[in-house]
Copies of this chain bind each other. A is one copy, B any other.
Amino acid sequence: MTGVQLRAGLANADLIAVLVAVTDNEPRVMTLRAGEALPSGPFESQHRSLQSGLRDWIESQTGHPVGYLEQLYTFADRDREAPTEAGGVRRISIGYLGLVREQVTPGTGQPQWHGWYEYFPWEDHRDRRPLVLDSITDRLDSWAGADALRRERVDFLFGQNGLPWNEDLALQRYELMYEAGLAESPSRPAIERFGRPMTGDHRRILATGIARLRAKIKYHPVVFELMPDSFTLLHLQRTVEALSGLRLHKPNFRRQIDQQELVEETGEMSSGTGGRPAKLYRYRPTVLQAQALAGPRLPVSRH
């Protein structure tokens, strides 16, 4: 590393996938070992890129094509697994986020889908502010003690003291809880109250995926990768709500959707689930929208 010299290390490498679907207005992730682990697999394959290899594998597992696949993060800290195996070989995992269409049945094979709020119950604010949050902030407050910096972080991340709840901060919330000893730790009983645990750092990887997806749906039309071919606007809204863990304002949501011209009517109507039948829509992909959309802008001078 000094100077020009390249000295490459050998590493133990694999892929880990956060595979998301939304069924019955509930976001779900594909898991193994009765919900304890995220699917992971070997690094080597005949494919040119990791991405295409992973894509193939997922399709063979779920029977559905992967609509969207994105590299999340590469996890390589020394203490990822509880007992680090001896020797200088570091274990690294490249995490991916994948979106698949809604599944009718969870599949007959090994992989199972679990609602992601089982792992992060405090992240679901659709009905009400979840009750667990009180226990959590209690614990965090005593962890913070007199440390002003810690207090500020807690307030900011968990929407205390008049600060708003920000759904994008899921990862940072989990990391803070981990730091404060509320997540994975030796003392089992108290833990179950704060969401279902997973092996190793899989829960952190899942949190990374959730945070990324929540941020992404705001400026990139990826939600449609989770929708069936035709859907009602409410169905679409419920899906976004499921992912973000928030309730949205219906008229405004509709206005946004149609002024972005992302969907078009199929001409059919839904066979009502209760009230008045709704128009069915389909996604209208465009090259332009597919790549980038809106987002905050710099105050560019035009001329």
Contacts and interface: CB of A to CB of B under 8 A. Distances in A.
Interface of A: 1, 3-4, 6-14, 32-33, 37, 39-44, 47-50, 57, 71, 73-74, 76-79, 88, 90-92, 94, 110, 149, 152-153, 156-157, 163, 166-169, 172, 215, 218-219, 240, 244, 246-250, 252-253, 256, 287-288, 291-292, 294-301
A166 B14 contact: no
B7 A42 contact: yes
Contacts of A43: 8-9, 11, 90
Nearest to A287: B152
Contacts of A298: 167, 218, 240, 244, 246, 248
Contacts of A246: 298, 300-301
A44 B91 CA distance: 11
The DSSP consensus for interface residues of chain A is mixed
Given A90-B44, A288-B152, A292-B169, A14 B3 contact: no
A156 B94 contact: no
Quickly give the copy total for this chain: 2
Contact of A292 (B8, B32, B94, B168): B168
23 contacts: A1-B39, A3-B32, A4-B33, A4-B37, A6-B41, A8-B12, A8-B13, A8-B14, A8-B42, A9-B42, A10-B10, A11-B11, A13-B13, A44-B90, A71-B73, A163-B288, A172-B291, A218-B298, A244-B298, A246-B298, A248-B298, A252-B299, A295-B296
A76 B94 contact: yes
A10 B153 CA distance: 39
Contacts of A4: 32-33, 37, 110
With most chain B CB atoms within 10 A of its CB, the pick from A1, A39, A40, A94 is A1
A14 to B, nearest CB: 5
A296 B218 contact: yes
Contacts of A40: 1, 6
A247 B49 CA distance: 38
Contact of A249 (B88, B153, B299): B299
B50 A1 contact: no
Contacts of A42: 1, 6-9
Given A157-B291, A248-B301, 10 more contacts: A1-B40, A4-B33, A9-B12, A10-B13, A13-B92, A74-B94, A163-B288, A247-B300, A249-B299, A249-B301
Nearest to A92: B13
Nearest to A253: B299
Contacts of A76: 49-50, 94
A74 B71 contact: yes
Contact of A1 (B11, B57, B168, B288): B57
Given A1-B57, A153-B287, A299 B248 contact: yes
A144 to B, nearest CB: 12
